[in-house]
Chain A
Amino acid sequence: MKNDLHGTFTPELFHLHAPAIDMFCASSAYKPPVQAVVHFREGITMVNERHRLSTLLYKSEISFVGDRLWKFRDQRFSFEQLRHAALRLEVHGKIESLPLYDLLAVLFSRNVIQETSVDF
């Protein structure tokens, strides 16, 4: 039997929640990997065809490692199309140390992720 703890977090306060989750995992039976899915808002589009991603990410810090997984620095992730665009990550280290800001900077600058409408 497995116990599964999950939570939904807002991006605005994730900088406060991430270290709390790290502390919790370190002091409990809940151990990494933590599965994290970053859901984008409606109106954000993401390329997820492998050949287009390879073209857009050519000579970037992001590389394909197989089995739908990509790697940025030491962090593996996959592109997902759920209700809206999403990134799925399996976090083995500290959530607090995830390079998400830099990863998103590369994805936006390479037009892998784009905003198609502004309606916040």
Chain B
Amino acid sequence: MNREPARNAKPIVFLSHSSADKELLAPLKDLLHKRAAGAVRFFLSSDGKSLPLGQNWIVELQDALAEAKLMFVFLSRNSVDSHWVLFESGVAYGRDVKVVPVCLPGIDFDSVAPPLSHLQGFNLHSNDAMRNLARVCNEVIGIEMEEAFSSDEFDSIFFSAGLEAESYFKRWTPFISEIIMRVEAEDILLDSPMPRMLLLRHKDLRMPRILLTNKYSINLAHSIKHEGKRPHSPVQPLRFQVPRTI
């Protein structure tokens, strides 16, 4: 069966991933595209750009796999057990495409199961590790992409993924809006320094910078409940909010 010629002659770097990670990886694709100055076609099947409307999805996917020089296999909680990701990487490997497993925040390469663990991969957990993406592209494709990435570039793409991966609730994090905690004590003076102690403890824990934004601030209120004759009317003499900078 004859197929139309490839859309262009640019070398293809295939970004294999779970569709659940498409929002995370679309900005990474855009960043790599910008770095490569458009000399490379980064193929992300789920982003709505790599596969134009009306194109036959499976044929486009096959063509991209056939023409790819390099495949990054992005492993996350969503994709680490994905048969589709294994299938894509198996096809690419069989065509002598260089296949590089890349573990997103929350997945450690040491915990990846075969066959992907037999390939040379790395953890993409910092801006330093992002350098590997560019370096491998440069080596395999023969381009000269700037390899250094700033921590801001890493944070802008992966911070939310890192948070969710480390979160107490892990994969259930997106389903929860907030947790309200309440603890009581008897006979504490109103001007007790204890809430401030808690705040200081948080500072001791060296919270990530993002904690200091409004979105992730802690908001503690110290209220008092009157029992007996007086009505149950909470007042809030003290209210703490983590400052925007420490």
Q: Which residues of A contact B (CB under 8 A)?
A: 1-21, 23-25, 27-42, 44, 84, 95, 100-101, 104-105, 108, 113, 115, 120
User: Contact at A10–B178, with CB atoms within 8 Å?
Assistant: yes
Residue-wise interface mask of B (174-193) relative to A, using a CB-CB cutoff of 8 A (1 in contact, 0 not): 11111111111111101010
User: Contact at B169–A101, with CB atoms within 8 Å?
Assistant: yes
A115 to chain B, nearest CB (A): 7
* B-side contacts of A120, CB under 8 Å: 174
- The chain B residue sitting closest to A115, CB to CB, is B175
Given contacts A3-B224, A20-B202, A115-B175, contact A32 B218 (CB under 8 A): no
Main DSSP-derived SS at the A contact region: mixed
A8 to B181, alpha carbons, bound, how many Å?
Answer: 7
User: Contact at B167–A12, with CB atoms within 8 Å?
Assistant: yes
* B-side contacts of A23, CB under 8 Å: 201
Given contacts A12-B163, A24-B197, A24-B201, contact A34 B186 (CB under 8 A): no
Residue B170 at the A interface, CB < 8 A?
A: yes
User: Contact at A11–B194, with CB atoms within 8 Å?
Assistant: no
- The chain A residue sitting closest to B222, CB to CB, is A5
A16 to B189, alpha carbons, bound, how many Å?
Answer: 28
Residue B34 at the A interface, CB < 8 A?
A: no
User: Contact at B175–A40, with CB atoms within 8 Å?
Assistant: yes
User: Contact at A37–B224, with CB atoms within 8 Å?
Assistant: no
User: Contact at A14–B169, with CB atoms within 8 Å?
Assistant: yes
Given contacts A2-B184, A4-B184, contact A44 B175 (CB under 8 A): yes
A28 to B215, alpha carbons, bound, how many Å?
Answer: 28
Q: Which residues of B contact A (CB under 8 A)?
A: 160, 163-164, 166-170, 172-188, 190, 192, 194-195, 197-198, 201-202, 205, 207, 211, 215-216, 218-227, 234
Q: CB < 8 Å: which of B168, B215, B227 contacts A15? A: B168
Main DSSP-derived SS at the B contact region: mixed
User: Contact at B227–A1, with CB atoms within 8 Å?
Assistant: yes
* B-side contacts of A42, CB under 8 Å: 177
A101 to B163, alpha carbons, bound, how many Å?
Answer: 15
Q: Which 4 A-B pairs have the closest CB atoms?
A: A15-B168, A3-B188, A11-B176, A6-B182
Most-contacted residue by chain B among A4, A25, A108 (CB, 10 A): A4
Given contacts A28-B194, A39-B179, A39-B180, contact A16 B205 (CB under 8 A): yes
A53 to B177, alpha carbons, bound, how many Å?
Answer: 23
Cβ contacts A to B, 15 pairs, < 8 Å: A1-B225, A2-B227, A4-B234, A5-B183, A5-B195, A5-B222, A9-B218, A10-B216, A11-B176, A13-B211, A18-B168, A24-B197, A24-B201, A100-B169, A101-B170
A5 to chain B, nearest CB (A): 5
Q: CB < 8 Å: which of A2, A7, A16, A39 contacts B219? A: A7
* B-side contacts of A35, CB under 8 Å: 181-183
User: Contact at B188–A104, with CB atoms within 8 Å?
Assistant: no
B103 to chain A, nearest CB (A): 20
* A-side contacts of B225, CB under 8 Å: 1-4
* B-side contacts of A19, CB under 8 Å: 205
Given contacts A12-B173, A16-B205, A17-B202, contact A2 B185 (CB under 8 A): yes
